[in-house]
Amino acid sequence: MTERIDHTLRGRWSPTTGTLPPHALKWLRQRTGLSDVRTPARTPDVPASALSGAAHAALDAVVGPGFVRVDRDSRLGRTGGLSYLDLLGQRGEGTPAVPDAVVLPATPEQVTDVLRTCAEHDVAVVPFGGGTSVVGGVAALRGDKAAVITLDLVRLDKLVSVDPVSRIAVLQAGLPAPQAERLLAPHGLTIGHVPQSYERATIGGFAATRSAGQASSGYGRFEDMVEGVRLATPVGEWRLGTAPASAAGPDLKQLVVGSEGALGVITEVSVRVRPRPRVERYEGFVVDGWERGSATVRALAQSHLPADVTRLSDVDETEVSLALAGGWKTAALKAYLRARGVAEPCLLILGWHGRSEDEIRRRRKETLRGLKLLSLGRALGEAWRHGRFNGPRQRDTLMELGVCVETLETATHWSRVSELRTAVRAALSDALGNCIVMCHISHAYETGASLYFTVLAARDADDPIGQWQVAKAAASEAITGTGTISHHHAVGTDHAPYLEAEIGGLGVAVLASVKRTLDPTGVLNPGKLLPTGLASPG
């Protein structure tokens, strides 16, 4: 194994928690009514393992001694993902579901054997990549099974092959993204998939959730990059993807991509790769007002000339970024914007990747032709690039300070983007009262865009879980019917109740019947993807 993710380090993105500068804390208190009172975190309870001796021995025989773990730290380390509710659980709020054991297979064959063994012993299986799910995707739910294991794929960490002619790399599912990029670097290749969870999330997790990275305008969403998959199921192995395009019936590969561990365990992914860029250029711009900003991003997407990274913040997100940055440079920037008559500054970050400075200059010129943008220069773009993985660290700090901090995302067609943004903002503000709701577009398509919301409110000390559940339900209701319940975070447990409204009763029935074929006893990831009750066998 070339790299391990430390899953005992849960609840924090990095071992140390950062601090918020005094000016930012003061501003946050004024805007949200945050008090000084803190609720100390307590260690969650870990019940005794319910894994039977027979099941333990059978799993030991598959993966070898030492790779079926029932110790407290291993189990607690894979308890839940990284949503706000998960982080509250890790601070001792509520009763998060703890797996009965953690099983670490080393090969795709072992994964299939583990699944067969679990089906024989009535044990539910939760596939676990980086554990960065923010929708309850890795919650250790047992459904109607006697026990539940977390199947940690961290040992599936090999680059299986590279076909430089076709530009395809076959990667094992447990590879964290940075490690996958390190393995591809000597071949001069990159995947180009950089979500904010890049440092921890895995190749299998990206495929299982239809992930979208920050450079999706240039490289596409992860499902666009999947050329083939190898799937382990309790009834055997399924391999898909033999050609770049095919008319041999519906694309079943896309049934596996986004299946969230409910239809099988992805063990290998054939990924389309591209030459590594030699030059990257990031630049900050300002647009006056959300409507003008989203019209600008639409124009870019519809002209097929977007930058590789295209990200528009609304006025509130821009204000928060500036408030958190503080300092004389920010004050000077605000004064400059006022002097230029910009009433509602919306920050637009554009980033280009290329083989040479010349290529980027040419593309930049084409992208910007005909657009009325106020350039703030490369420093702001580069500052965004350097800080683009800081969100989770800032969230750790905010958690410590007693802030309710969470994100949610959707997508819709251009004609409804502003309507949906207004509806979600209103739903969150009504539910949470004194709060900050920020929004950005970071994935733009010819026909529409994603909307990504970040919410900050003072945490309700008496019922922090209920406080967020009410807000999340209100936002989900506002989204249903206008946008998708998830643009890239997936369904998990959180969105399962809303899936039928999006894909219809027939859609759910189709998924349930596929599940019955691949997972006849219903051991795979109970409670995820399919609404509860419809996923069970029969």
Vertex 465, ends 49 and 86: CA angle to 5°?
A: 45
Least separation in angstroms between residue 406's CB and ligand FAD is 11
Least separation in angstroms between residue 287's CB and ligand FAD is 22
Least separation in angstroms between residue 80's CB and ligand FAD is 10
Those residues with Cβ within 8 angstroms of residue 483's Cβ, 6 or more apart along the chain or in another chain:
410, 411, 412, 416, 420, 451
* Spatial separation of the C-alpha atoms in residues 70 and 366, rounded to whole Å: 58
**293 known ligand binder:** no
> From residue 73, how far is each of 13, 42, 70, 76 by CA, in Å?
17, 15, 9, 5
Least separation in angstroms between residue 7's CB and ligand FAD is 10
**312 known ligand binder:** no
- Cβ proximity to ligand FAD: between 412 and 525 the closer is 525
Q: Which listed residue (84, 198, 219, 452) is catalytic?
A: 452
- Closest to 353 (Cα-Cα) out of 310, 304, 400: 310
* Spatial separation of the C-alpha atoms in residues 180 and 195, rounded to whole Å: 14
Tokens of 184: 């591809």
Least separation in angstroms between residue 37's CB and ligand FAD is 26
* Spatial separation of the C-alpha atoms in residues 84 and 405, rounded to whole Å: 7
* Spatial separation of the C-alpha atoms in residues 402 and 70, rounded to whole Å: 32
- Cβ proximity to ligand FAD: between 345 and 526 the closer is 526
**266 known ligand binder:** yes
Tokens of 273: 């790769």
- Cβ proximity to ligand FAD: between 435 and 518 the closer is 518
**262 known ligand binder:** yes
Least separation in angstroms between residue 16's CB and ligand FAD is 17
Scan for tokens 């995947």, then name that residue. Answer: 191
* Spatial separation of the C-alpha atoms in residues 347 and 288, rounded to whole Å: 9
**132 known ligand binder:** yes
Vertex 22, ends 16 and 27: CA angle to 5°?
A: 115
Indicate the burial class of 66 (C-beta count within 10 angstroms; 0-12, 13-18, 19 or more).
exposed
- Cβ proximity to ligand FAD: between 467 and 525 the closer is 525
Identify the H or E element spanning 493.
Answer: none
Scan for tokens 């319940």, then name that residue. Answer: 485
Those residues with Cβ within 8 angstroms of residue 22's Cβ, 6 or more apart along the chain or in another chain:
none
**260 known ligand binder:** yes
Give the residues lining the site for ligand FAD (CB under 6 A).
81-82, 126-134, 137-138, 153, 173, 195-197, 201-202, 204-206, 208-209, 211-212, 260-261, 265-266, 391-392, 488-490, 492, 525, 528
Q: Check the CA dihedral 160-188-301-321 and report its sign.
A: positive
- Cβ proximity to ligand FAD: between 256 and 478 the closer is 256
Scan for tokens 């999340």, then name that residue. Answer: 472
**294 known ligand binder:** no
**395 known ligand binder:** yes
* Spatial separation of the C-alpha atoms in residues 406 and 455, rounded to whole Å: 5
DSSP 174-222: T-BHHHHHHHHGGGTEE-----TTTTT-BHHHHHHHT---TTHHHH--H
Classify the phi-psi angles of 261: left when phi > 0, otherwise alpha if psi is within -120 to 50, otherwise beta: left
**133 known ligand binder:** yes
Least separation in angstroms between residue 468's CB and ligand FAD is 15
- Cβ proximity to ligand FAD: between 255 and 333 the closer is 255
Amino acid at 326: G
- Cβ proximity to ligand FAD: between 288 and 409 the closer is 409
Least separation in angstroms between residue 140's CB and ligand FAD is 10
> Is residue 81 within 8 Å of 205, Cβ to Cβ?
no
Least separation in angstroms between residue 290's CB and ligand FAD is 21
- Cβ proximity to ligand FAD: between 232 and 417 the closer is 232
- Cβ proximity to ligand FAD: between 214 and 288 the closer is 214
Does residue 452 carry a catalytic annotation? yes
CB atoms within 10 A of CB 237: 15
**131 known ligand binder:** yes
**236 known ligand binder:** no
Report the residue number whose CB is nearest to ligand FAD: 205
**Where is the binding site for FAD, in residues?**
127-133, 260-266
Which residues are marked as active site? 452
**Where is the binding site, in residues?**
127-133, 260-266, 395
**Where is the binding site for substrate, in residues?**
395
